[in-house]
A and B are shown apart, each in its own frame.
Chain A
Amino acid sequence: MVLEAEKKGKKKTIYTPDMATITEISDLTPTEKQFTIQIDDQETREAFRFQPGQFVELTVFGLGEAPFSIPSSPNNRESFELCVRDIGNVSNALHKMAPGSKVGIRGPYGNGYFPHEKMKGNNVVIIAGGIGMAPVRSLLKYILEDRQSYKDFSLIYGCVDPANILYKDEMQQLKQRDDIEIKMTVDNPDADWKEAVGVCTNLIGDLKYSPEDTFIVVCGPPIMYKFVILELDDRSYKPENIFLSLERRMECGVGKCNHCHIGNKLVCVDGPVFSLWEIRNLKEAI
């Protein structure tokens, strides 16, 4: 018997990572760092194409593997970025690494991503909370790189403290543009804070877009979803045009370990992005 993997001359199974190099590391906040990652093998690198909302499985060899969303633009083909919070085994180890370090990458994974094709010709609103910025930033970049294909574009971004805001400089630059409206809010303002205070649901009321031609993307902690959805419902936005990225424990990323299942869906292969309509029909999704 000859297996597919052996035919190709190297043993590569669905669990085998490709080798990659961390080329750059920068601090985003006191708890989050940005890693620029380049896949070593040129052919594999060229074949690595992802959609906004997809994720990779990253291995720190000897320590383990964890899923991370890709926050960079799909148009950047040479390397991609990850935004990692310092919170457990794998993420702690990553935070201690230096440029030039080797990691393993599998993916990109997730058949459910943000449906940017369908969004074309419509208004788009992105609502992000905390580290929920990571998965949606890819879509944000992608839309800005092809801005004329969409109608109005808004970003609502909420964080606990001003210090937690991800991509702070980038946000300031975007504020200079007149083709995107950016609203930020924090729970605990400091003396320099000049924008809104409170949860990001408060800012949904300001949206003037009609439900007919508006797509909404939401990503943040589980608790945020409940309140955001109530607000969106009040304004009659259509559940089939609202997209949420879900997080669950994942051990494999390829639909086998089952940890991320919600009813008959798997977050890794059916998601991680689901429409609100799908989520409504899935018990325990949010």
Chain B
Amino acid sequence: MLYKILGKNEYEDFLSDLISKNEVIGPKKKDGAYSDFVAIKDPKEIDTDYQKTTLSPAKKILFPSTEDLVAFKISDTIEAEGIVEYEQKVLLGINAWDINGMNFLDRFFTTDFIDENYLAKRKALTVIGTDSVPTENNFAHHMNSEYAIEGFDLYFSDLGDRFFVRAATEKGNRLIEDFPRFLDTSEDDFKEFNRYMEDYRAKFKLNINMKNFIDNFESIYDKEQLWQKLAEKCYSCGSCNLTCPTCFCFNVKDDINLDLKTGQKLREWDSCMIPEYGLVAGDHNFRPDKENRLKQRYKCKLITFKQKYGKNSCVGCGRCIEACLAKINIAEDINTIMKEVSI
């Protein structure tokens, strides 16, 4: 890691410079409490204290809700060619838990088989992170995700009169070299950074207990009544999946164009909470009940990838809690599960 300082008075110039040379995607005020990550043309458009976004900006760029995968041409014979689309972009202002969510997707899409549709976009993305204020439903600190140690090129922490800047990659280093007004850090800057991090971490108020969660989850796995109670109000709408920064399930389908000669294979986000998810030909459904679907979503978020990668796929952003009309709350449910087995 390379550490630098950038004065507040230099920051706007840095952004102007960045915007003049790159396509920059950053947070812009939308309606109410929400901001949206869009193309930024002027540093003044940037909503520096954004708190909520419906989607993770990283997922929006790297894993769009629909994406063409293969183009085919039908004539006397058929030709098929893979489609890999990407553009060089700078993602500015993504917070720590969304970077960690992206890190999960990075790992997922390059495990077993390499998904070049994702990887090409990821390689073309420059990531500049900065902290944002957690909502009352955020529990990123319990998911080891309130702080990012990788996945970004530069990360800005706001120490008041100056930024404490971490550069994690060569790309980040180049950005610093291209704007020669970054300063070296002093011992005091590190002390100030530590003080800053303490204040930052104190903003995460939600308290959950996840001690031995994997084992406890196993032990209540077959308690049908508990799961029926937890899932009772679920509408099976899938909003929790759609807003999650780490949900990656998709369907693949073929589409044929009006000329009847060309078409494409494409993917679309799917959602494990809707009944069709487990449906196969012959009308057999591997997961027909909503309580089983909720149980499997929690398992996927809190168990599966802890076992596979050593880290949960849930980053604790709280989006699924805010999106759920039935008020189903993963943080409360973790506590409920823990209470079932408490000594």
Interface residues of A (CB under 8 A from B): 1, 3-6, 10-17, 19, 59-65, 87-88, 91, 102, 104, 222, 247-249, 251-252, 254-259, 261, 263-264, 269, 283-284
Interface size classification for chain B: 35 or more
Q: Is the interface of A mostly helix, strand, loop or mixed?
A: loop
Q: From known contacts A3-B120, A13-B69, A19-B78, infer whether A59 and B249 are also in contact, taking CB-CB under 8 Å.
A: no
The verdict on B72 contacting chain A, using a C-beta distance below 8 Å, is yes
Q: Which residues of A contact B307 (CB under 8 A)?
A: 264
B240-277 to A contact mask, C-beta < 8 Å, 1/0: 00000000111111111000000101010010100001
Chain B residue at minimum C-beta to C-beta distance from A269: B112
Give B265's nearest chain A residue, CB to CB: A15
Residues from chain A with a CB closer than 8 A to the CB of B248 are 256, 258
Tell me the B residues contacting A by CB distance below 8 Å: 69-70, 72, 74, 77-84, 108-109, 111-117, 119-120, 123-124, 221, 248-256, 263, 265, 267, 270, 272, 277-282, 284, 286, 292, 296, 299-300, 303-305, 307-308
The 5 closest A-B pairs by CB, nearest first: A13-B82, A16-B82, A62-B256, A88-B281, A254-B113
* Interface of B (DSSP majority class): mixed
User: Given A62-B263, A65-B265, A264-B304, does the pair A251, B69 have CB atoms closer than 8 Å?
Assistant: no
Q: How far apart are the CA atoms of A93 and B322 in the complex, in Å? A: 44
Chain A residues, CB < 8 A from B304: 261, 263-264
With CB as the reference atom, state the residue of chain B lying closest to A254. B113
* A87, B300: Cα distance in complex, Å: 31
Q: Are A4 and B116 in contact (CB under 8 A)?
A: yes
Cα–Cα distance between A284 and B77 once the two chains are bound (Å): 44
Which residue of B is nearest A14, CB measured? B113
Interface pair A15/B82, CB less than 8 Å apart: yes
Give the distance in Å from the alpha carbon of A63 to the alpha carbon of B279 in the complex. 18
Pick the most buried of A16, A64, A248, A269: most chain B CB atoms within 10 A of its CB.
Answer: A16
Closest to A17 in B: B80
Task: Tell me the complex Cα distance, A254–B263, Å.
Answer: 22
